């Protein structure tokens, strides 16, 4: 029996304070105690069900965390004010001065910048490797390594991590395997494949309406308690707390994630196949030509497809920019970073979300100037979208007009 993440979300049942079908929003930063002793116990972490202060935890954040833990199949979870607000405390909680991280070199630019430029200030160093080559990953491990870090489907190159293979390496070397699953919610369940900690930027598919930033760390009760510890917990002390009003709205959006992911995946697969047939260099994990197509298939849960992200290469940054501007003019989507919206979003990662990565390293990892990253929307008529996108490409001489058949 496969893992069924959407069933786990469906099965949650919360009642609001007055019998409402949604849990009541806890609109408070602080909480009263009936006895001083309970306050003391709560600070010590020994009063289950009591709330202390909303930077530590709040009922609304716990509801959302519980739902996301159910989705990922972990013991529990801690929500944060942004994806980076989830990623950075995990790294700082697990590492101290002198420690080392082995990370995929194709990760979100902000995470890359944090590991490359920020953590060295605390004498935490990172080796960036080709995560698809398990030998290279293992060779990079030193006696100081604490974390193996990757994205299940990487931003922006859509490389797929062999999570089982990486989990084996992590176990052998006593490392924590931390997986950012932002690009493949529901499709891939990293904890079920052996990851120790699963992170999401909720900003993307999970919230799905591009109206807020948010993040989550899913893991064991022990690790989440460490993050929240009032004395040395990185989440508690760095203070990247999600507001209760927001966590309530993200929880409501989470309930339609399964339907949205199915439509994102359906549309992205349709376009990827068409673009590839047109002769465009297209990368999509659902294409048989993707080097990790079989690997993705071996890891994926039933029903949610290969995700909503694809890339095409149109040869140069100028052409990419012209195409994106034209597609926006024709109302096909927005020239914008981020992902997981009802409209298609497109950007050229080399000059935007991955601009933190130096040019020579971009080249090295195959991040070319003409690359356009698409987050495909929920379009009801994807064939119409394709025809309109194709017309833009013809107008810009990226594609030839389709041959018209003449009868003799």
The contact set with ligand PLP (CB under 6 A) reads 82-84, 108, 110-111, 151, 155, 180, 182-183, 201, 203, 213, 215, 353
- 99 or 151, CB closer to ligand PLP? 151
Q: Is residue 67 within 8 Å of residue 254, measured between CB atoms?
A: yes
Nearer Cβ to ligand PLP (110/185) = 110
C-beta closer to ligand PLP: residue 94 or 345: 345
Cβ atoms 334, 328 nearer than 8 A? yes
Residues paired with 128 in a beta bridge: 103
Nearer to ligand PLP, 215 or 333 (CB): 215
CB of 110 to ligand PLP, least distance (A): 5
Choice between 185 and 370, CB closer to ligand PLP: 185
* Distance in Å, CB of 150 to ligand PLP, minimum: 10
Tell me how far, at minimum, the Cβ of 278 lies from ligand PLP, in Å.
27
Report helix angle 317-329 to 382-395, nearest 10: 130
Residue 380: Cβ within 10 Å count: 9
Q: How far is the CB of 80 from ligand PLP (least distance, A)?
A: 9
The minimum distance between CB 276 and ligand PLP, in angstroms, equals 24
Distance of CA 365 to the CA centre of its chain: 20
For residue 166, give the DSSP letter. H
Q: How many CB atoms lie within 10 A of CB 198?
A: 30
Looking at the Cβ atoms of 110 and 233, the one nearer to ligand PLP is 110
End-to-end CA, the chain: 58
- Nearest Cα residue to 195 out of 339, 299, 266: 299
Question: Per DSSP, what are the bridge partners of residue 147?
Answer: 101, 176
Torsion of CA 227, 229, 231, 234, to 10 degrees: 20
Q: What's the min distance (Å) between Cβ of 154 and ligand PLP?
A: 8
- CB 147, min distance to ligand PLP, A: 15
User: Can you read off the two tokens belonging to residue 27?
Assistant: 């609109």
CB-nearer residue toward ligand PLP: 250 or 320: 250
């Amino acid at each position: 029996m496969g893992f069924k993440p959407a069933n786990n979300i469906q099965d949650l049942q919360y009642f609001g304070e007055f019998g409402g079908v949604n849990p009541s929003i806890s609109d408070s930063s602080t909480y009263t105690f009936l006895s001083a002793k309970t306050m003391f116990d709560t600070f010590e972490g020994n009063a289950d069900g009591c709330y202390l202060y909303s930077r530590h935890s709040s009922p609304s954040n716990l509801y959302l965390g519980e739902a996301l833990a159910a989705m990922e199949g972990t013991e529990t979870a801690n929500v944060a004010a942004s994806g980076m607000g989830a990623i950075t405390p995990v790294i700082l909680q697990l590492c101290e001065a002198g420690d080392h991280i082995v990370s995929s070199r194709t990760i979100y630019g902000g995470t890359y910048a944090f590991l490359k430029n920020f953590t060295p200030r605390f004498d935490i160093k990172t080796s960036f490797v080709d995560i698809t080559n398990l030998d290279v990953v293992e060779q990079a491990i030193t006696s100081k390594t604490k974390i193996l870090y990757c994205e299940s489907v990487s931003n922006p190159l859509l490389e797929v991590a062999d999570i089982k293979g990486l989990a084996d390496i992590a176990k052998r070397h006593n490392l924590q395997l931390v997986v950012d699953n932002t690009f493949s919610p529901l499709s891939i369940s990293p904890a079920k494949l052996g990851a120790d900690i699963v992170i999401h930027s909720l900003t993307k598919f999970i919230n799905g309406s591009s109206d807020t930033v948010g993040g989550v760390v899913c893991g064991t009760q022990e690790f989440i308690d460490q993050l929240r510890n009032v004395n040395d917990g990185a989440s508690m002390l760095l203070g990247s707390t999600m507001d209760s009003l927001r966590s309530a709205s993200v929880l409501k959006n989470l309930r339609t994630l399964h339907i949205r992911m199915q439509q994102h995946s359906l549309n992205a697969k349709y376009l990827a196949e068409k673009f590839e047939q047109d002769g465009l260099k297209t990368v999509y994990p659902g294409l048989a030509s993707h080097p990790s197509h079989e690997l993705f298939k071996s890891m994926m849960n039933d029903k949610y497809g290969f995700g909503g992200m694809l890339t095409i290469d149109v040869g140069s940054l100028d052409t990419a920019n012209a195409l994106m501007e034209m597609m926006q003019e024709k109302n096909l989507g927005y020239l914008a970073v981020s992902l997981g919206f009802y409209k298609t979003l497109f950007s050229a990662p080399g000059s935007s979300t991955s601009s933190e990565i130096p040019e020579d390293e971009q080249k090295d990892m195959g991040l070319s100037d003409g690359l356009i990253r698409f987050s495909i929307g929920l379009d009801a008529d994807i064939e119409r979208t394709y025809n309109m996108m194709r017309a833009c490409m013809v107008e810009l001489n990226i594609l030839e007009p389709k041959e018209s058949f003449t009868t003799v």
